[in-house]
Amino acid sequence: MKTCFTILLMLCSAALFAQSAEKLYGNWIKVRTIYKDGSELNDYDLIKYNYTKFSFSKPDKCTIALSYDQWGEPVHFMLGFDELFIKNDKEFVLNQLHIVKFSADTMILMQQNNGSWDDPACIKFYYVPESAFQKANPLTADDIVSVKGTDTLYRASEKLYAGFNGDASFHMLEQSALGDLHGETPLKNHFLATFIINKDGTADSLKIVEGINPDFDKQYIKTFLKLKNHWVHATHNGKAVSVQMKDEFRYLSSAPDFFERAKPGMLADEEMKAGNYSLAIINYTKAIRNSPYAGEYYYKRAFCYLATDDAADACSDLQKAKELGTYAANGLIKRFCQ
């Protein structure tokens, strides 16, 4: 009798897990981050406002992306009674998250701290389905590139973007095809391209705004053309629309160069956490000049400006951080610059 009950319990548990997984499939966007005790994270902590997207698909696949147009590394997931396990393809558990709440419209996950779930410093992450996130962030005039007759070309963002149908994201496939071509007589360390995904899901109008070197740019174009029919059109109000996408690469010439360029940013971080905001501003300014990844430094310098009551310079830096792809800047812009 006891054996039959155990088997029945296992079957019921499996059925419940299957039902939960069905609700889980799709994209979930982080909308809030707080400590377990309800207190707020510090504004200079990028994790507070950064963009995070969980994408779950059958049977147990998962990606975690920090940008709307990236997929992140493919991993696997497994649901427990109140836990979400993130695993690699060898079944090694990479992360274990406590499921505080899970429904069709809300997912709250908690990360343990110092090996404990009871620590007040455990961080809680609030997620909503991507459709709900986009509905709460309607398009504005700033999201429109151009209007021709009845056709509107939108600028891709977290609010609206084209999908990609491939084994990896478009950016990752381009990166794989480009290999080490950026190291062959590089002219610049920054590559930026824009292109349009039409209403029928085809890609065209590729424009290399800033190239690396002739071989790099040529291979990029070749791969772009090879993948031009692998896109899925964007949808707005139930209708297919055209969007302008962008793709970007940033490189450093060498590892020693990277560490040398990183020093001012590291010093600035220490000064900021110590409350020495004026010194932090000086070092963040150096870091901005030295780094191709300046978005994060603009964001942190903006926090220092806010701490010294310089709202004008802070908002200027936040706008630059946003333009450079630092999504977290949106959080401070909404609080201090509108």
- pLDDT tier, 15 (very low <50, low <70, confident <90, very high otherwise): very low
Report DSSP letters for 244-277, one per residue: EEEEEEE--S-HHHHHHHHHHHHHHHHHHHTT-H
HSE of 175 in the Cβ direction (CA atoms, 13 Å)? 11
Q: What is the mean pLDDT of the chain?
A: 88
DSSP assigned state of 160 = B
pTM, to two decimals:
0.84
What is d(CA 216, CA 126) in angstroms, rounded to the nearest whole number?
Answer: 40
**Residue among 143, 163, 164, 161 nearest 152 (CA):** 143
**Residue among 75, 76, 123, 70 nearest 98 (CA):** 123
pLDDT above 90: percentage of residues in the chain: 70
For residue range 132-159, list pLDDT tens digits in order: 999 999 999 999 999 998 899 999 999 9
What is d(CA 215, CA 235) in angstroms, rounded to the nearest whole number?
Answer: 35
More confidently predicted of 294 and 9? 294
Q: What integer is the mean pLDDT of 299-320?
A: 95
For residue range 214-233, list pLDDT tens digits in order: 999 999 999 999 999 999 99
- pLDDT tier, 72 (very low <50, low <70, confident <90, very high otherwise): confident
For residue range 83-101, list pLDDT tens digits in order: 999 999 888 999 999 999 9
pLDDT of residue 333: 94
List the structure tokens of 192. 């930026």
pLDDT of residue 152: 95
- pLDDT tier, 298 (very low <50, low <70, confident <90, very high otherwise): very high
- pLDDT tier, 271 (very low <50, low <70, confident <90, very high otherwise): very high
More confidently predicted of 131 and 71? 131
Contact 105, 132 (CB under 8 A): yes
List the structure tokens of 272. 């900021």
In this model, does residue 9 exceed pLDDT 70? no
Tell me how crowded residue 52 is: count the other CB atoms within 10 A of its CB.
18
Q: What is the CATH number of domain 2-134?
A: 2.40.128.280
What is d(CA 318, CA 71) in angstroms, rounded to the nearest whole number?
Answer: 25
What is d(CA 104, CA 28) in angstroms, rounded to the nearest whole number?
Answer: 11
Architecture per CATH, domain 255-336, reads as: Alpha Horseshoe (1.25)
Helix (H) or strand (E) holding 217: helix 214-226
Domain assignments of the chain as residue spans, ordered by start:
2-134, 138-250, 255-336
- pLDDT tier, 292 (very low <50, low <70, confident <90, very high otherwise): low
Q: Say whether 243 sits in a helix, a strand or coil.
A: strand
Of the listed ranges 15-19, 58-62, 77-81, 173-177, the least confidently predicted one is: 15-19
Helices 170-178/214-226 angle, 10° precision: 140
**Residue among 130, 142, 65 nearest 322 (CA):** 142
pLDDT of residue 6: 37
In this model, does residue 290 exceed pLDDT 90? no
More confidently predicted of 294 and 28? 28
- pLDDT tier, 263 (very low <50, low <70, confident <90, very high otherwise): confident
What is d(CA 165, CA 182) in angstroms, rounded to the nearest whole number?
Answer: 26
More confidently predicted of 167 and 8? 167
In this model, does residue 184 exceed pLDDT 90? no
pLDDT of residue 8: 36
